[in-house]
Chains A and B, each alone.
Chain A
């Protein structure tokens, strides 16, 4: 019966049915099980605008360079507070329409940063719009393509009162006399990006990162021996430089300079620390700064502040983690 060498029928049937069986075991059944997840209580569905932005995200195939998965390993700590879990994808991974399936937002390449938590990490609308128009306006070394077709070039006199004008530096303009105005599409896409935030987990300790043996040892010995701060230069580069730039000069019309800033150079670091902890939105000529209290530890904030106070011609005393701790407590008391 199973003479595969002579019987083409049994050969084809066996090859087909065994493969189908294996496929059901390894793909179809697990897939059915995986789609039976429920959303976390803290999650909300995408708003209509965010959903429109999400459609652009997929159409421009952003997933070919940006992942949205925080793996359960320590190096992915940079991209989220906890490893991703199936529920995180409840609202975004749904069939899009008759023609298009549930989008592959987990991704397979990290040519650009992971976006799981980008709404928290990079919350300013202004920054996103600038970055979308031409990423090199805010990150000099970026290789991401610009999306100028999501923006309009308008003459000064044609600008309507509710137009969102983007402060693109003159050197990036094709027609220096014109202004760049975000289209609805750009605003939608940014709304989606701003919505990307890891939802909070109920309870705790269930999804801790797998810690690095090496790193743990290193931090223990450091704090015991010298009380050294983490690397302020690296922290500044990954947390602050996207807006304030690596040279501390900021971006005119969008992000204030730190070099020569009175607040940064103040003998008393209190205002600087408060801005980092609480965010800042009092100067209309600049974009909004997000609060970092939940994202950075006292040591990290002290390291960043120290870096800012000792570079680009700034010259102010270092900041200690104890000082940050004090101010954090103070803010909490004020709130209560």
Chain B
């Protein structure tokens, strides 16, 4: 039976490969045996490298545009204000005049023609008096000329109190993990420059690195996503959450798994070092059960919806949860993980962890929060649906591109490379959808403190994902695999895409729930420090990683590549510090948004309670 199955499967694979071969056309030979080492003398002319450089310039261009729009709107506004003021004063004066006054002016004008200075004009003792009421506001503190004032949010959305509490507590926990996780990341980054910072076993590099990655994955991003998801599910189903209790249970379970998991990692107990599944299964089970509770809750809430359609956001939230639960089960079941079986699963798991969980779920959030903060519908519902199914199809098949040229079967590697290119479809569909939604509202960007986060996140979605596809190409993989370039890529995506979009969602919803806005200057500080920090981080490791790869290809001694990386690691640490500081500012902003106001809160809460029960 097993043999027969194997035979059928092999035949199936053979057919599959034939199709792929047709797709590849020219590289038929590549299937049997990989082609030789490419010529590196013109490495910068390789399509993957050029593509990546172009992508980075896209981000730069967008930033330049944001800055330009900001500056020019600000200058315009100043000009405009001054002109308007002048006009207003003049026209009001004209209107207010009667015949006698006009005569008076004419008389004065005549007199003025003959007028000569007396020499006593300055230094009069009379007090200033706005007899015509033209000045509307007197201030001793003119507007701070460095920071543009943004629109206030429409405050106070009617939301059930328990739901508010869930969103706030999920976000609160996520921010704790963000600050903790990036503090560790920052410390680990500094160890590249000072490897002898400490000699404590619990703080050694090997143990701390997975603490950083797992904390920001399962602590920060996952908690923030689920918290924001609860609001979307209730809102778009026009109903209340099925069971608040389940939300709390999964809150405890997930936090507990991150807490225990990290303590274990620090103590040297890990699941064998496979990235992102370093927590042993008994810890991961807590997380998994948390996800199952969340899914059940979401599903039941959607089932109880009071509108007939299921909004596209909820597709993504369902997909994200279902796929991740499947993924965790496949990733941890032991039956097929001896020998290189584990490596196949590792490629599948680590890629899907990012693609099916963080990316899918966050896209779902964007499909709600972006249009809602622009106060208009999503550009194309169908594009959203197309992106959903292609995301599932293409993302799932490309895990092995983390193991190109490895001893894994070549057909797996080929499928991964081909479908990596296929990833352009969902990425382009998603990006187009978001940008077209923003179209016509560009001026809103300069007036809002939420939209710049969305814009940067969406641009990184395109740039980061496309760059990832380029990285799977043969030549670029040759140069970049195993180097620090990978680290740059994962920060470009997990930070540039996921974190920026999550921040956008948080700033979009939280003030509406709590009724308090963060100080705009601090939101701006968060945005710019995170962005500049990320850029410094990314660019330094990309350049360093490329040089490292080229040095390896040239057959230079390994230690040369360590020495050449030193300045780039310093720049990485500087960028990382900025990113970390921005998280402290974010934590402060969160505190301002959720702290209880002295007056009004009680009465308001009571009123809401009576409405929603």
Q: Which residues of A contact B (CB under 8 A)?
A: 4-6, 8, 11-12, 15-16, 18-20, 22-23, 26-35, 37, 58-65, 67, 69, 71-76, 78, 83-86, 88-90, 93-96, 99-111, 113, 134-136, 139, 141-149, 210-215, 234, 237-238, 241
Contact = CB atoms under 8 A, between A and B. Distances in A.
A111 B553 CA distance: 15
Nearest to B295: A12
B210 A108 contact: no
Given A22-B396, A30-B412, A34-B341, A211 B405 contact: no
Contact of B559 (A4, A30, A142): A142
A12 B36 contact: no
23 contacts: A16-B323, A19-B396, A27-B345, A30-B408, A33-B341, A35-B340, A58-B270, A58-B272, A59-B269, A59-B270, A61-B210, A64-B273, A69-B407, A71-B405, A83-B407, A93-B339, A96-B272, A100-B280, A101-B281, A101-B337, A103-B342, A106-B403, A238-B559
Nearest to A103: B272
B209 A61 contact: yes
B558 A238 contact: yes
B483 A110 contact: yes
Nearest to A24: B330
Given A4-B310, A61-B273, A89 B36 contact: no
A307 B39 CA distance: 29
Contacts of B319: 15, 19
B271 A101 contact: yes
Among A34, A65, A69, A71, find the residue whose CB has the most chain B CB atoms closer than 10 A: A34
A60 B405 CA distance: 27
A64 B486 CA distance: 13
Given A6-B310, A34-B339, A101-B274, A75 B195 contact: no
B339 A102 contact: yes
A58 B326 CA distance: 27
A151 to B, nearest CB: 11
A101 B281 CA distance: 9
Contact of B195 (A12, A144, A234): A144
Given A58-B273, A61-B209, 14 more contacts: A6-B309, A26-B348, A27-B399, A34-B343, A59-B268, A62-B206, A74-B37, A75-B478, A75-B553, A89-B339, A89-B340, A101-B332, A145-B196, A213-B36
Contacts of A139: 559
A88 B345 CA distance: 18
A26 B396 contact: yes
B322 to A, nearest CB: 5
Contacts of B195: 135-136, 142-146
Contacts of B72: none
B302 interface: yes
A122 to B, nearest CB: 12
A213 B513 CA distance: 64
B37 A213 contact: yes
Contacts of B402: 108
B334 A95 contact: yes
Interface stretch (B98-106, B178-186, B197-205): B197-205
Contact of A64 (B210, B299, B342, B405): B210
B271 A100 contact: yes
B343 A214 contact: no
A213 B39 contact: yes
Among all A-B residue pairs, the 8 with the closest Cβ atoms: A61-B206, A103-B272, A212-B37, A35-B341, A110-B482, A71-B405, A104-B274, A238-B557
Contacts, number: 275
B308 interface: yes
A187 B463 CA distance: 48
Given A6-B310, A8-B303, A23-B330, A88 B562 contact: no
A67 B37 contact: no
A234 B551 CA distance: 12
Contact of A149 (B35, B201, B270, B392): B201
A58 B280 CA distance: 13
B259 to A, nearest CB: 18
B435 interface: no
Contacts of B409: 30, 33-34
Among B192, B315, B346, B482, find the residue whose CB has the most chain A CB atoms closer than 10 A: B482
B338 interface: yes
Contact of B273 (A75, A104, A237): A104
Interface string B382-421: 0001000000110011011011011111001001000000
A22 B389 CA distance: 13
A333 to B, nearest CB: 33
A15 B323 contact: yes
B317 to A, nearest CB: 11
B343 A210 contact: no
B560 interface: yes
A74 B34 CA distance: 12
B310 A8 contact: yes
Contacts of A20: 326
B344 interface: yes
B191 interface: yes
A85 B274 contact: no
B482 A86 contact: no
Nearest to A29: B9
B511 to A, nearest CB: 31
Nearest to A84: B407
B344 A31 contact: yes
Interface in B202-217: 204-207, 209-210
B607 interface: no
B517 interface: no
A78 B196 CA distance: 28
B192 A143 contact: yes
A6 B9 CA distance: 36
A75 B407 contact: no
B558 A64 contact: no
Nearest to A16: B322
A12 B322 contact: yes
B562 A34 contact: no
B27 interface: no
A63 B282 CA distance: 22
B32 interface: no
A31 B334 CA distance: 11
B407 A31 contact: no
B555 interface: yes
A19 B392 CA distance: 7
A27 B309 CA distance: 34
Interface string B288-303: 0000000000010011
A67 B275 CA distance: 13
B147 interface: no
Contacts of A101: 271-272, 274, 281, 332, 334, 337, 342
Given A27-B399, A102-B272, A11 B206 contact: no
A22 B35 contact: no
Contacts of B342: 31, 93, 101-104
Contacts of B332: 101
A38 B50 CA distance: 43
Interface in B301-320: 302-303, 308-310, 315, 318-319
Given A64-B273, A86-B407, A146 B560 contact: no
Among A74, A99, A139, find the residue whose CB has the most chain B CB atoms closer than 10 A: A99
Contact of A60 (B36, B268, B338, B557): B268
Nearest to A72: B405
Nearest to B482: A110
Nearest to A214: B39
B552 interface: yes
Contacts of A93: 338-340, 342-343
